[in-house]
Structure 1
Amino acid sequence: MSQSSKLAVDAMGGDHAPDAIIAGLDIAAERHPQAQFLIFGDEALLRPILAKCKHLTGRYELRHAAEVITGDMKPTVALRLRDSSLRRAIDAVLAGEAEGVISAGNTGALLALSKIVLKTLKGIDRPAMAAIAPSAKGDVVMLDLGLNVVYDARNLVEFALMGTVFARIVLGLPTPTFGLLNIGSEEGKGDETLRAASNTLRESPIAGQFYGFVEGHDIAAGTVDVVVTDGFTGNVALKTGEGALKLVGDLLRQVFSAGPFAKMGYLFARGALKRLRETLDPRRYNGAVLLGLNGVVVKSHGGTDALGFAHAVDVALDMIANDFNSRIADALTAMDHAILSEAPVPNQNG
């Protein structure tokens, strides 16, 4: 990561802001010694907290923002707050003062402000939200997770392109596989939009990475590295998975506290259970990314603690360091050239 890499931070967004946000930044600063931070929020509140952070010393610039976008504020209202910590952080990306922005605050406000202020990359019709989830074979990328309820085949193709680039950067996979989430794996399944997207992808530059259609159980099985779907379906799948993980954790606690023999069994299984808990720790998967915008935009879970926020910062800095948007632009150019080369040549004698 270059010395000029800088992340704009909304320090006032989130259930545990600003303490958890700044503590998370301090953890991330130790992991990324060359990163710089542009922090927005209530200066009177933030300065005493920042003074206790040894890894952030000399690595940040603090800018006062008089307004705060609350978690229950409607996006239409948030758009009118020009001096909010979230708006100022996004404006810094637009002005070129930072290469990305992170917030644990109001999701709707972050989406609305990012789309209006930063706008989408050239060639991207709609941005998509991507995040990482656990699977039997390792981490899996899922997108879209809630931005696009209305979509077409071109949007799914764009999501696939952005998702594979994201997986290369964040998961370190040179040629990640991907699939379209469907109600069945057979080619004839799904609606016309899914089938049209599948046909385009099978003729695209990333056709070799395309698995085909996948079903809901394939997400946890790790059948592919990237699961591509629309925002409505993706959000339902993500929330269902989160609920299932919580249920497993609750059941395990009940099982191992059911009686003296169960508690004895816990003593023997404690090491394995610790590894399981670390693997399924939701903080490890914190940091959803809005792909397709002119700048890196990362949404941290609002209720996360410092460690979880630090992971989201890790994701943002990885995206910046690997020049994510330029790689998306290259992938789009290759896709467009492939589509144009296959288009029928007009009859010049007409």
Structure 2
Amino acid sequence: MTGTPEVEAPVAEAPAARRTSPPVIAVDAMGGDNAPVEIVRGAVLAVRELGLRVLLVGRRAEIAALLAEEGALRDIPVVHAEDDLAMHEGALASWRRPRSSAAVSCRLIRRGDADALVSAGSTGGIVATSTVRLRTQPGVLRPALAVTLPTGETPTIMVDAGANADAKPEMLVQFAHLGCAYAQTAFGVRRPRVGVLTIGSEPGKGNKLVRRATELMAATAESSPGMDFRGNIEGHDLLARKVDVVVTDGHTGNVALKSVEGTATFAMEAVRQALTSTTLAKAGALLQRGALTRLRERLDSETYGGAALLGLNGTVVIAHGDSRAKGVARACQLAHDLAGGRIGEQIRRRVHTRPPNWLHRLAQSDAPAQRSGDQTGEG
């Protein structure tokens, strides 16, 4: 996933009331490097192995042919969409593609015919399309991408991972609440520990944006019983389980995410080379096959499904662009868990229980600090 141009987040009333039955996941069949073949296979896996309710959105004839090959033509409904967003197209392309599979999926959510969107398409295009067509929940300043880091049975969540390259201090405060809602809904963490990613753990470390955001977060922590604010954390703490939610701007978050993913890939390749270097090493690898499989599963990005775009009137999960069937199915599971857990209501309670514009008033309580909070700077 990559950082995306910012799209103003229009606010609208919530879409049609949701059904009480299991969530319906609209899968963008045309999005991703391996679309539509792997996307369709992933949808079939989600239905057959995970028992999820899924519908596929895209060019009907292509999807039907692939479903027939899987023997699943009658198992998954197909909604026709004649257009799609190419992987190289970013945020602006969403305005020129009102009939794209992603746009049609968003309309299904707004009508109440689906509860969530899963797409492996262009991150910028999906963020823009869903933000414009689903719109932000009242009180949410900007939607944010939340990703899970491979830290064990209960992953660490990082927000924002690329939706907002430039952020303001009050936005980071909201990202913390969005991340806490995610941790509670997806992983059952009752009082998530929150840390701000910066260059040192001591108070006052970081650029102007981070320092002001930390001040605001500390000021609101006492009135936020569902959040345990732990202050600053550093890059080497990302996988150390010191916090449940890591808060950062989208630019820093995306760089950190790619660094973690690259390190995981390097580590697995280094292990593979070490275990195939000699006959004795190969024999040892056979004895450790189970442990190695668990390690590979833990470090595999497809294990975690993708990134959740939080703060919209509807659940959106953006899978990795190169996702194959397993990754698509896992993304569907994540979307099901978030929509079924009513993450929108969790966010609504966290954001809307406060007086209108409380964040703006708090941020403006110190004008010089507020004015300096937009840009990166000194360490």
Question: Quick check: TM above 0.5?
Answer: yes
Q: Is the 8 A contact 1:137 1:222 kept in 2?
A: no
Aligned counterpart for 2:185 among listed residues 157, 169, 179:
169
CA distance in 1, matches of 2:190, 2:357: 21
1:1-350 paired onto structure 2 within 5 Å: 2-3=20-21, 5-30=23-48, 32-33=50-51, 35-51=52-68, 53=70, 57-58=74-75, 60-135=76-151, 138-202=154-218, 203-204=220-221, 205-206=223-224, 209-336=228-355
The one-letter amino acid of 2:171's match is N
Q: 1:289 aligns to what SS in structure 2? A: strand
CA distance in 2, matches of 1:300, 1:322: 19
| Per-residue deviation, 1:113 | 1.0
| Per-residue deviation, 1:70 | 1.5
CA distance in 2, matches of 1:121, 1:270: 47
Q: 2:83 aligns to what SS in structure 1? A: coil
Deviation digits for residues 108-159 of structure 1 (CA, Å, limit 9, x no counterpart): 2111111211221111111100111112674110110111122111101100
Q: Indicate the larger mover: 309-318 or 277-286.
A: 277-286
CA distance in 1, matches of 2:27, 2:140: 25
The one-letter amino acid of 1:91's match is R
CA distance in 2, matches of 1:246, 1:219: 16
The one-letter amino acid of 2:105's match is A
CA distance in 1, matches of 2:170, 2:294: 41
Q: 1:326 aligns to what SS in structure 2? A: helix
CA distance in 2, matches of 1:56, 1:190: 55
Q: 1:220 aligns to what SS in structure 2? A: coil
CA distance in 1, matches of 2:22, 2:280: 58
| Per-residue deviation, 1:37 | 2.8
CA distance in 2, matches of 1:28, 1:86: 19
Q: Indicate the larger mover: 5-14 or 152-161.
A: 5-14
| Per-residue deviation, 1:256 | 1.2
| Per-residue deviation, 1:264 | 2.5
Give me the identity figure in percent. 37
Q: Indicate the larger mover: 201-210 or 257-266.
A: 201-210
CA distance in 1, matches of 2:231, 2:62: 51
The one-letter amino acid of 2:113's match is E
CA distance in 2, matches of 1:23, 1:87: 22
Q: 2:331 aligns to what SS in structure 1? A: helix
State the partner residue of 2:4.
none
Q: Is the 8 A contact 2:144 2:160 kept in 1?
A: yes
Q: 1:135 aligns to what SS in structure 2? A: coil
Q: 2:96 aligns to what SS in structure 1? A: coil
Q: 1:270 to 1:68 in 2, by over 3 A?
A: same
Q: 1:99 to 1:271 in 2, by over 3 A?
A: closer
CA distance in 2, matches of 1:154, 1:119: 19
Q: Indicate the larger mover: 251-260 or 64-73.
A: 64-73
Q: Is the 8 A contact 1:29 1:56 kept in 2?
A: no
Q: TM-score, normalised by structure 2?
A: 0.83
Q: Indicate the larger mover: 71-80 or 47-56.
A: 47-56
CA distance in 1, matches of 2:357, 2:50: 38
Q: Is the 8 A contact 2:27 2:43 kept in 1?
A: no
| Per-residue deviation, 1:52 | 5.0
Deviation digits for residues 59-111 of structure 1 (CA, Å, limit 9, x no counterpart): x4312222222212343234212222122112222233222211111222111
Q: 1:333 to 1:85 in 2, by over 3 A?
A: closer
The one-letter amino acid of 1:326's match is E
CA distance in 1, matches of 2:290, 2:326: 22
| Per-residue deviation, 1:294 | 1.3
| Per-residue deviation, 1:336 | 4.1
Return 5+ residue gaps in structure 1 as ranges: 344-350
Q: TM-score, normalised by structure 1?
A: 0.90
Q: Is the 8 A contact 2:185 2:342 kept in 1?
A: no
Q: Is the 8 A contact 1:25 1:56 kept in 2?
A: no
Q: 1:170 to 1:56 in 2, by over 3 A?
A: farther
Q: Is the 8 A contact 1:137 1:221 kept in 2?
A: no
The one-letter amino acid of 1:210's match is F
